[in-house]
């Protein structure tokens, strides 16, 4: 591969990694999570409230830790730093669940947050031993949940899963096995849990 082609490949991979990083895609799926509830789009505020606790506040804290030199970068490339960061995020998410319950948020929003909680717990448990891809888990769970919520017309979103996975491998942030594991975990376990909880609670 020529130097120009290599630069283009790396630039594309970096673009995909940044645009579809977990806080972004999870925020989007939380914003649309009330779509299946009566009163949408009036209920979108609950999705925004969930995104505040699940994505925005943890990201602000993470960026502060990066600035202080406590964490290497906002993708938490150092495997040993991932579990503490995820536990910090989990604390924010649990606080968000309490607020959502107190404000009588739509059940679809709560179900989406619960699926994310399960994902954070598993990723935090695995990370000290193996660097499973959080990017892959986030994009696969978000894409599949979006299709389950909005219907088969949104199936093209699934194409983002291999695209984001490719970017992580190209940037040498993860091995192919770590990306595949993250993708399967997000698409099967997290999205599957969302589906089961939705059927149980709705």
How does pLDDT run across 76-132, given as a tens digit for each residue? 777 778 778 888 888 999 999 999 999 999 988 999 999 988 888 888 888 888 889
Range from 32-36, 49-53, 64-68, 123-127 that averages highest in pLDDT: 49-53
Closest by CA position to 133, among listed 170, 187, 185: 185
| CA gap 19, 111 in Å, rounded | 25
How does pLDDT run across 174-185, given as a tens digit for each residue? 999 999 999 999
Determine contact, residues 197/111, Cβ cutoff 8 Å. yes
151 or 201, higher pLDDT: 151
How does pLDDT run across 140-155, given as a tens digit for each residue? 999 999 999 999 999 9
Tell me what pLDDT residue 51 has.
Answer: 94
Tell me what pLDDT residue 148 has.
Answer: 93
pLDDT at 202 over 80: no
Identify the burial level of 148 via C-beta atoms within 10 angstroms of its C-beta, where 0-12 means exposed, 13-18 middle and 19 or more buried.
middle
Q: What's the mean per-residue pLDDT of the chain?
A: 89
Contacts of 86 (CB under 8 A, 6+ apart): 120, 123, 124, 127
Closest by CA position to 20, among listed 147, 124, 162, 122: 162
Task: Give strand ranges (E) for the chain.
Answer: none
Residue 2's pLDDT band (boundaries 50, 70, 90)?
A: confident
CB atoms inside a 10 Å sphere around CB 62: 20
Determine contact, residues 48/106, Cβ cutoff 8 Å. no
35 or 48, higher pLDDT: 48
Tell me what pLDDT residue 129 has.
Answer: 85
pLDDT at 201 over 80: no
């Amino acid at each position: 591969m020529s130097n120009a082609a290599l630069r283009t490949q790396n630039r594309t991979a970096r673009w995909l990694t940044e645009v579809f990083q977990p806080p972004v895609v999870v925020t989007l799926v939380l914003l649309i999570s009330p779509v299946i509830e009566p009163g949408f789009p009036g209920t979108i505020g609950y999705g925004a409230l969930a995104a505040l606790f699940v994505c925005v506040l943890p990201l602000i804290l993470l960026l502060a830790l990066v600035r202080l030199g406590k964490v290497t970068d906002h993708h938490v490339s150092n495997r040993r730093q991932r579990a503490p960061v995820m536990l910090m995020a989990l604390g924010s998410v649990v606080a968000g669940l309490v607020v959502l319950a107190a404000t009588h948020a739509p059940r679809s929003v709560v179900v989406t947050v619960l699926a994310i909680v399960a994902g954070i717990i598993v990723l935090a448990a695995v990370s000290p031993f193996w660097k499973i891809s959080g990017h892959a888990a986030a994009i696969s769970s978000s894409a599949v949940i979006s299709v389950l919520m909005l219907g088969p017309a949104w199936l093209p979103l699934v194409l983002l899963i291999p695209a984001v996975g490719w970017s992580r491998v190209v940037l040498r942030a993860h091995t192919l096995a770590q990306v595949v594991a993250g993708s399967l975990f997000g698409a099967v376990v997290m999205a599957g849990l969302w589906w089961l909880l939705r059927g149980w609670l709705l």
